[in-house]
C-alpha cells in the first residue's frame, strides 16, 4: 500500500506571495491532519479534515487554510507569506477520526525569502 505523498517536496516563495501544498493520504484513510514543524517548536497542529469537513483547527492565523476533497486528498494554502512561515509542513493520514495512529508524509519544505 502506498504511503502518504506530499507535493511539492521543496518550495521557495517570496514574502507576500501565496502557496498551496498538496497531500494524498494512504488509500482508505479518510482523516487528514496538517502540521508545521520549525526548529525548537516541534510539530504544531494546523488543522484536521474528515469527510471534507474541518474538524479541528490549531492556533494559527487565518492566512492558513485548507480543504479536503471527496477522494480524501487535501490541500493547505498559506496567503500573504511571511518569513516566519518558513518551515517543514507535514501531512498525516489516519483511517478515521477515532484512530490514534497517524501516518506521516515526507513533508514539504517551504522557504520564504
Partner 1 sequence: DQQVKQNSPSLSVQEGRISILNCDYTNSMFDYFLWYKKYPAEGPTFLISISSIKDKNEDGRFTVFLNKSAKHLSLHIVPSQPGDSAVYFCAASEYQFYFGTGTSLTVIP
Minimum CB distance to partner 1, residue 104 (Å) = 3
Nearer to partner 1, 78 or 92 (CB): 92
Minimum CB distance to partner 1, residue 20 (Å) = 19
d(CA 110, CA 50): 25
Nearer to partner 1, 14 or 53 (CB): 53
Asked if residues 50 and 97 have their Cβ atoms less than 8 Å apart, the reply is: yes
Minimum CB distance to partner 1, residue 18 (Å) = 24
Nearer to partner 1, 14 or 98 (CB): 98
Nearer to partner 1, 54 or 77 (CB): 54
d(CA 30, CA 64): 21
Exposed (0-12), middle (13-18) or buried (19+): which is 22, by Cβ within 10 Å?
middle
What is the SS3 assignment for 85? helix
Cis omega (within 30 of 0) for bond into 8: yes
Where does this chain bind partner 1 (CB under 8 A)?
A: 4, 33, 35, 40-45, 48, 56, 58, 90, 92, 100-107
Minimum CB distance to partner 1, residue 16 (Å) = 29
Amino acid at each position: 500500500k502506498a504511503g502518504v505523498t506530499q507535493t511539492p517536496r521543496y518550495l521557495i516563495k517570496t514574502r507576500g506571495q501565496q502557496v498551496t501544498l498538496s497531500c494524498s493520504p494512504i488509500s482508505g484513510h479518510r482523516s487528514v491532519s496538517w502540521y508545521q514543524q520549525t526548529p525548537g517548536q516541534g510539530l504544531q497542529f494546523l488543522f484536521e479534515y474528515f469527510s471534507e469537513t474541518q474538524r479541528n483547527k490549531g492556533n494559527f492565523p487565518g492566512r492558513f487554510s485548507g480543504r479536503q476533497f471527496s477522494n480524501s486528498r487535501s490541500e493547505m494554502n498559506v496567503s500573504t507569506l511571511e518569513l516566519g512561515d518558513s518551515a517543514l509542513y507535514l501531512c498525516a493520514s489516519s483511517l478515521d477520526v477515532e484512530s490514534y495512529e497517524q501516518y506521516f508524509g515526507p513533508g514539504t519544505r517551504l522557504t520564504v525569502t
